[in-house]
């Protein structure tokens, strides 16, 4: 399914990407890997309709989009439960308890964001994204501020939630390990103007992947990232 069709994004003199096309397969996880500032976030923002492409178009074919931002973006004046309720349809409100339990945050359901650690806040943001009815989940470097242990744990949790929902995930990151741990397909982006320079398909099941594995792919991707054509 073609979601980005020959899309171009420019700000004044800067071309973020030009003639970018990308299609997705339902239920797959795509890791978009590229150097910082290459326009990865802009791609997600356009898909979420927070920005418009300068040329070309997006077509999500009626699929709804959910989003995990770089920052948790929780309402500080609402409790964890209320933050989740705001995006959750009434008939699925029961799911909140289930997901709180799954993410080990049940005891914090009446806490305010200021009472949570950075990792806990990001987990609430992950729960919120999964509770919002969607077919495509966009994730914009959501583990940036977290340590490796927590990062690995959250990636597992996201994968489990994805397994039960079968949503399509577009995961933007500049961290090779993260991309390899979660993605079914790894798309390597060049620096600005961004284009997809190579695509890798990972056939190892996510549950069996470890950060230290996949050395061969890692080396190739690192080489590509270092010598990506401009």
> What is the binding site for another protein (CB under 8 A)?
48-50, 65-67, 69, 71, 73, 75-78, 82, 86-87, 112-114, 128, 132
Residue (of 183, 172, 222, 227) closest to 206 by Cα position: 183
Smallest distance from the beta carbon of 58 to another protein, in angstroms? 14
> What residues have CB less than 8 Å from 153, skipping those under 6 apart?
none
**CA 163 and chain centroid, separation:** 15
Q: 96 or 202: whose CB is closer to another protein?
A: 96
Q: 28 or 82: whose CB is closer to another protein?
A: 82
How far is residue 184's CA from residue 179's CA, in Å, rounded to a whole number? 9
Smallest distance from the beta carbon of 9 to another protein, in angstroms? 17
135 burial (CB, 10 Å; 0-12 / 13-18 / 19+) is: middle
Q: Are 193 and 160 in contact (CB under 8 A)?
A: no
Smallest distance from the beta carbon of 178 to another protein, in angstroms? 22
Q: 75 or 93: whose CB is closer to another protein?
A: 75
Q: 49 or 219: whose CB is closer to another protein?
A: 49
Tokens of 21: 């096309």
Smallest distance from the beta carbon of 79 to another protein, in angstroms? 9
């Amino acid at each position: 399914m073609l979601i980005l069709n020959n899309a171009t994004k420019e700000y004044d003199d800067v071309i973020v990407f030009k003639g970018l096309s990308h299609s997705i397969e339902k239920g797959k996880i795509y890791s978009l890997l590229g150097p910082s500032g290459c326009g990865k976030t802009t791609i997600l923002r356009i898909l979420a309709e927070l920005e418009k492409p300068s040329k070309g178009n997006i077509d999500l074919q009626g699929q709804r989009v959910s989003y995990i931002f770089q920052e948790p973006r929780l309402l500080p004046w609402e409790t964890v439960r209320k933050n989740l309720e705001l995006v959750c349809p009434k008939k699925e409100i029961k799911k909140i308890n289930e997901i709180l339990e799954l993410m080990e945050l049940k005891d914090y359901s009446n806490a305010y964001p200021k009472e949570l650690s950075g990792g806990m806040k990001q987990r609430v943001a992950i729960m919120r994204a999964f509770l919002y009815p969607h077919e495509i989940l966009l994730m914009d470097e959501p583990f940036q501020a977290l340590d490796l242990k927590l990062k690995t744990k959250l990636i597992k949790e996201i994968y489990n939630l994805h397994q039960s929902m079968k949503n399509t995930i577009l995961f933007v990151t500049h961290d090779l390990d993260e991309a390899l741990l979660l993605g079914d397909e790894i798309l390597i982006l060049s620096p600005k103007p961004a284009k997809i320079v190579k695509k890798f398909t990972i056939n190892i099941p996510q549950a069996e992947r470890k950060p230290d594995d996949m050395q061969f792919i890692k080396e190739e991707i690192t080489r590509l990232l270092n010598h990506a054509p401009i």
